[in-house]
Amino acid sequence: MPNDEDDQGDDWLALSDPDIGTDEMEQALLTLRSPQLSMGPKVAEFEGAFAAWVGRPQGVAVSSGTLGACLLLKAWGVGAGDEVITTGYAWHQVAHAIALVGATPVLVDIDYWSGCIDPASAERAIGPRTRVLLAGNVNGHPADWAALRSLADRHGLKLLEDSTEAIGSRYQGRHVGTFGDAAVFDFSQPSALCTGQGGMLLCDDAGLADELRYLRERRVDDRRSVSVGSRVPWQAGMGELEAAVGLAQLGRIDDILLRRKQVEAWYHGEMQSFEGIKPPYLADQVDEVHWMLYQVHLGKRFTASARNLLIEDMASNNLSTAAFCQPLHQQFFYQQQGWKRGALPNTERIADRSMVLPFHGHLDADHVRFIVKTLKDASVNVGAGAAIYL
């Protein structure tokens, strides 16, 4: 997935820009003046508030979505010799947890329209060593949770929901993050709710939540426990500063999402002037989608190399864009495990011709107009015409 770590000038339109206001600054300052920056009351408050907002009883704050997913897999006893089914087209940092705990990732193809895991492909990949199904709500669009829940139940699998890319999205009347046996969120950039670093695990099982807290870090109240040291903790806790920022962001989340929706509407209006435009996809059972980034699917006349030239052309105009994304099975680590191009046709078809444009609440209508006009000009410059498909 793309990131915005390069140091650009003030006239550079970044791919993402965290929505940080006076509430976050005040909360951060109050926390810095407090006597506790680790394992303090802000973390517990953020856990409860975020879990309640999503609609689950248990929240466990962690230092990242990657480590959060590691903790969940360890709590479920997943490790060497086990397989976890997922896709190569998603927020990679969470899927990396499979390899980090010593399990084997089994990559399957995606639904062409939503970009989410294809339940039929997942079912064909289930074998005797399969323990978990890891599915994500890709770039805001909820996965087919009814089919995935049925699939997991039929085969006795744990269902892990990655909702990093879809904060605020709703499926069948419920927030994403409520459909798996557990859910993981990452709050690093470009998340709509951004704390810099950090993540959250949500579940319904109080026993699982307690185990996750034990594995997360050594707690002060464990010092005299007879079971201390029975399992080695990961030192994966969230700090008080991140929790304070998260609480302030959560208090403004409706406003943050509303401003992003306005930017999305400006994009949709400007994109209509492209030849062959298609409306954004919304599956029948999906109530609302909140995109993490503004994604466009280029027409068939584009190749992956033409898409990359578009990105370079946009950068020459001080616009940050990126491919969405570099599939896992085309990355070196996973190729060393036997994965290669050609294994996942839908994934490759979309990934080769997909890119994301700047998307955050600090953009105005003029920004969006300039971005889309520049993209039109760039598409002509690379000799591919102007047909772009959302």
Give percent of the chain with pLDDT exceeding 70.
Answer: 91
pLDDT at 102: 97
pLDDT in tens, 125-151: 999 999 999 999 999 999 999 999 999
The pLDDT assigned to 1 comes to: 46
Higher pLDDT, 165 or 274: 165
Q: What is the tens place of the pLDDT at every residue in 70-109?
A: 999 999 999 999 999 999 997 778 999 999 999 999 999 9
Q: What is the pLDDT of residues 281-303, one digit of tens each?
A: 889 899 999 999 999 888 777 88
pLDDT at 6: 46
Residue 275 has pLDDT above 80, yes or no: no
220 versus 206: the higher-pLDDT residue is 206
Q: Look at strands 182-186 and 58-62 and give their pairing.
A: unpaired
Pairing of strands 199-203, 182-186: antiparallel
Asked if 122 and 105 touch (Cβ cutoff 8 Å), the reply is no
- Measured CA to CA, the distance from residue 342 to residue 22 in angstroms comes to 49
Strands (E), 63-198: 83-87, 104-108, 130-136, 158-162, 170-171, 174-175, 182-186
pLDDT of residue 11: 84
**What's the pLDDT score for residue 221?**
66
Q: Residue 220: is its pLDDT beyond 70?
A: no
What Å distances lie between residue 343 and 87, 157, 329, CA to CA?
Answer: 11, 24, 8
Q: Does residue 268 carry a pLDDT above 50?
A: yes
Q: What residue ranges do the domains of the chain occupy?
A: 22-251, 253-389
Model pLDDT, residue 218: 80
- What pLDDT does 165 receive? 96
**Residue-level pLDDT at 282:** 86
Cα distance between residue 375 and residue 307, in whole Å: 11
What was the pLDDT predicted at 4? Answer: 45
Question: Per-residue pLDDT averaged across 242-270, rounded?
Answer: 97
How confident is the model at residue 3, as a pLDDT? 47
**pLDDT tens digits, 152-210:** 999 999 999 999 999 999 999 999 999 999 999 999 999 999 999 999 999 999 999 99
Mean pLDDT, residues 6-25 taken together: 84
Q: Which CATH architecture has domain 253-389?
A: Alpha-Beta Complex (3.90)
Asked if the model's pLDDT at residue 217 lies above 50, the reply is: yes
Residue pair 333/99 in contact (Cβ under 8 Å)? The answer is yes
| pLDDT classification of 5: cutoffs 50, 70, 90 | very low
Task: Look up residue 110 and give its amino acid.
Answer: I
CB 286 within 8 A of CB 171: yes
Query: What value does the mean pLDDT take over residues 20-25?
Result: 96
Cα–Cα nearest to 215, from 40, 70, 50: 70
* Dist CA 126 CA 88 (whole Å): 16
Tell me the torsion sign for CA atoms 350, 354, 183, 336. Answer: positive
pTM: predicted TM-score of the whole model, two decimal places: 0.92
Pick the CATH number of 22-251 from 3.30.230.10, 3.40.50.12280, 3.40.640.10, 1.10.3430.10: 3.40.640.10
C-alpha dihedral, 86 to 89 to 94 to 97, nearest 10°? 50
Q: What is the mean pLDDT of residues 114-121?
A: 96
CB 329 within 8 A of CB 341: yes
